[in-house]
Amino acid sequence: MIAATKIMATQGIGSQKLFLGTNSWKYGLVNLAAFLGQSMKETIMYNACDENNWTNPKAAQQFGGEAYTSSYSCGQGGQSYQDYKCTKEDDAIAGGKMACEIDLNMSIRAHTQATWYGAPPKMFCAPKSKIPKAPKWNWGGPFCPAKGGYKYKAPFPVDIGMNQSYVDYINKAGNCRDYDPIKAGGWEFCGGAGCKNSPAPLFGKPNGRTDVEGCCWWGRGVIQTTGICNFGKLNYYMGARGKKEGRTVLYPDIDFCKDPEAICKPSSPPALKWIAGFFYWLNSVQSYKDKDGWVYMEKLKNWTDAGMNLADTSYIDACSGIVNRGCYNPPCGGNKMDGGAQRAANFATVIKAMKLA
């Protein structure tokens, strides 16, 4: 994290750098504390890099779709990650198209997942020729034998990705072999058919997806980079596209469009998980300006100058709204903010650890 902070504050990406304070170093620490508070809620508390399948029965009731279906790799919470369009301004900068092209033949298996009892496995994507219909995860059973126990079978290693043995296991509704240690759970289909994720009408998807074709754009990194536009931006400013077009970039040998999982691979540079998160922060939070005149940098400085009163959660609540729902004053698109109180508590924890309050 320290290495990533230095890189982003000094080199930055494109014309943007991580703000660590001008006139007052406190501004920079508050900005960093807000980033860490969000990261704690998004991934750090789960020790995860890849997005977890978090759509439990309650969330499925709220958004629609089946609980814990594998088609949530296509989008959770009414989202469609394949349809995250870049702005006209972004496309103009790129001289055509900023977003990644969708490769319907792409097959990827994530590297991390939640680890609670019966937790859903790692997200995956694959063409319909490999996974014709998306199963859902039955977290309540069956009970999985412990390592060395009767009928124990070793989990499929992460590094095999979506090879044929794991694909066959999914298509046959296998159980107890998705990660180690696994306590309970298995795949099942919905009346013999694929299991739907939630509709995403704002993205032109009024019906839930029952497949995982082209659905390789789930969130990755400490604050998760999600969708074809954001991965396209990474590739333009940080990756192989930048190198191809003659720019000096941080990761010239990584093509984030061909391999979005590069962010979470153990073989990738350790700072990349944090840099991807900072990249999101620069593009979506630190530079945020709403049409009604709400400006992130002004609110950051105002809250800091007012004495950093942790009882006043207006600043961090706005940050949480931007990260979780895309606006400073959710609900946006009809969806309420998730975990606002916890995000504010995380922010307070970091502020106190920095001895700012």
The pLDDT tens digits along the chain (357 residues) read 999 999 999 988 878 899 999 878 999 999 999 999 999 998 888 889 999 999 999 999 999 999 999 999 999 999 999 999 899 999 999 999 999 999 999 999 999 999 899 999 999 999 999 999 999 999 987 899 999 899 999 999 999 999 999 999 999 999 999 999 999 999 999 999 999 999 999 899 999 999 999 999 999 999 989 999 999 999 999 999 999 999 999 999 999 999 999 999 999 999 999 999 998 899 899 999 998 999 999 999 999 999 999 999 999 999 999 998 889 999 886 677 888 999 999 999 999 999 998
Whether this prediction's pTM lies above 0.75 is answered by: yes
pLDDT value of residue 141: 77
pLDDT value of residue 97: 96
Say how far residue 332 (Cα) sits from the centre of its chain.
19
pLDDT value of residue 281: 95
Domain residue extents for the chain? 2-49+268-353, 57-203
pLDDT value of residue 333: 64
